[in-house]
Amino acid sequence: MNKILGVFLALLPFSFCAKDKNIKVPKSIETNSMEIKDGLEVATFAGGCFWCTEAVFLELDGVKSVVSGYIGGKTINPTYKEISNGDTGHAEAIEITFDPTKISFGELLEIFFATHDPTTLNRQGNDVGTQYRSEIFYHNGAQKQLSEDYIALMTSENTFGKPIVTKISAATTFYEAEDYHQNYYNQNKTQGYCSYVITPKIDKLKKMYHDKLKK
């Protein structure tokens, strides 16, 4: 396993109505060079409601775009209504396009685990269902290995005090969600879910990772 860059003490804002916790999460592990296209790389994470995860990663320097969508199921071109029924097998997820010279996949992993609860199976706070599961969809062998190493590290250090249930799977077809889901938080900040759930998460992100944010 590559060396650890350190640890930080963070109040972790989990998904809908979840309680804050004081948890030490390992800093990102240094990454080896990964396959990139046109200087950019793609990461795909599922960690509860994609309104929350999208809002978090849009704040980061080096992230070029974040798209909310569905992945990991059997239904072709699923709709949000179908996803909400829990019958498609898909997870709400985000597809991140990033510049690895500015932010590494390891750093994205660190923030992913710091901003959702990876110990609750098919649930984030009051959001319950397989569509809200915690899952990493890797795009190459390096992402797969790094994800496995990072989870093994947190498990050995008992970071969360409970078993980590985050799955690691090969990326399959990613279906972009409906237009109204894209950039949802920034267009609906006064909406109840956004102001009470996402805004506190963003505020803590800015406090914990001010050096990684877009200027």
Q: What is the pLDDT of residues 63-120, one digit of tens each?
A: 999 999 999 999 999 999 999 998 899 999 999 999 999 999 999 999 999 999 999 9
Q: Top-level CATH class of 7-27+39-212?
A: alpha beta
Instruction: Extract the tokens encoding 94.
Output: 């985000």
Question: How distant is the alpha carbon of residue 63 from its chain centre?
Answer: 13
Stated pTM of the model: 0.83
Write out pLDDT tens, residues 163-176. 999 999 999 999 99
Enzyme catalytic residues: 49
Q: What is the mean pLDDT of residues 20-31?
A: 46
Map residue 168 onto helix, strand or coil: strand
Inter-residue contact 145 to 186 (CB < 8 Å): no
What is the pLDDT confidence band of residue 215, given thresholds at 50, 70 and 90? confident
